[in-house]
Amino acid sequence: MTGASSGIGAAIARALAGRGWRCVLLARRRDRLEPLAAEVDGEVEVCDVGDRAAVERTAAAVLERHPALGLLVNNAGIPGRSGFLELEPERIEEVLRVNYLGGVWCLRAFLPGLERGRPAHVVNVVSVAGTVAFAPSGPYSASKHAQLAFSRATAMQLRPRGIHVHTVNPGFVETEGFPQRSVLASGFFRRSVIKPEQVAEHVLSVLERGSTETFVPGWYRPFALAQAIAPGLVGRLAGRRAYR
């Protein structure tokens, strides 16, 4: 479970533990992971998912303790909070390294464990931003588009090998890294903000139903379809109305 130290990841870890999963909680902040591990009877791994060598070391240590895995949740992610022309180049690189490549490195490193544990599951926490691009969140959105393509491609590749890849696209969720209620403009978008626990419940139902690609809340799906049909119009409207 990556990005388990706060927000959606911590909520998913609690929900999974409630269903009897033993979770290995992975993130960079040990001080945040340890109390959660005590609460859910889980294990802690401190790791930066954007650092491929660190991910490989961590996966080797986890697979030593747990040779067969039932589930990998790729959830670690960071916001960009600005457009391509304003955001510092280093942050643009970091957003891509964590949000997109982090999941790639984790899947590759944990794959032997998933194969030994099959039928196994991978949940990629992507975003509505992976399907809708608009100017104020360009770099973040680009990283999530890449993560979505990764998730869709590996779903096809791994299904015949007994590993089910699920893409979960949340809309606006109030968390530490994404304090949506304070950055969103008032009105429709602010009212649509949900809690991390709602995403966690959704992930449990995705695992039960075996859904391949979902939105939470489900009514975001038409936005994704609309952007595919009329990208300029939807991007302009969303960019103008979403943020303060």
Ligand X SMILES: NC(=O)c1ccc[n+]([C@@H]2O[C@H](COP(=O)([O-])OP(=O)(O)OC[C@H]3O[C@@H](n4cnc5c(N)ncnc54)[C@H](OP(=O)(O)O)[C@@H]3O)[C@@H](O)[C@H]2O)c1
Q: What minimum distance in Å lies between the beta carbon of 162 and ligand X?
A: 26
The residue (of 16 and 78) whose beta carbon lies closer to ligand X is 78
* Cα dihedral: 124, 215, 157, 67 (round 10): 30
CB 22 within 8 A of CB 41: yes
CB 207 within 8 A of CB 188: no
**Nearest distance from residue 219's CB to ligand X, in Å?**
15
Tokens for 161? 């090998």
The total of other beta-carbon atoms located within 10 Å of residue 169's CB is 24
Q: Which residues bind ligand X (CB under 6 A)?
A: 2-9, 27-29, 32, 48-50, 75-78, 98-99, 125, 127, 170, 172-173, 175-178, 180, 196
Find the catalytic residue in 100, 140, 220, 243: 140
Work out how close the CB of 39 gets to ligand X at its nearest, in angstroms, rounded to a whole number.
Answer: 15
In the complex with ligand X, the residue whose CB is nearer, 115 or 235, is 235
Nearest CB to ligand X, comparing residues 93 and 176: 176
Work out how close the CB of 94 gets to ligand X at its nearest, in angstroms, rounded to a whole number. 8
Specify whether the CB–CB gap between 72 and 26 falls below 8 A. no
144-148, long-range: CB < 8 A, 24+ apart: 144/99, 144/100, 146/96, 146/99, 146/100, 147/74, 147/99, 147/100, 147/103
Q: Closest CB to ligand X among 21 and 140? A: 140
Nearer to ligand X, 22 or 29 (CB): 29
* Min dist. Cβ of residue 76 to ligand X (A): 3
Paired with 167 in beta bridges are 124, 213
Q: Is 140 a catalytic residue?
A: yes
End-to-end CA, the chain: 33
**If DSSP codes are grouped into helix, strand and coil, which group holds residue 210?**
coil
Dist. CA 206–CA 151, nearest whole Å: 15
Residues catalogued as catalytic: 140
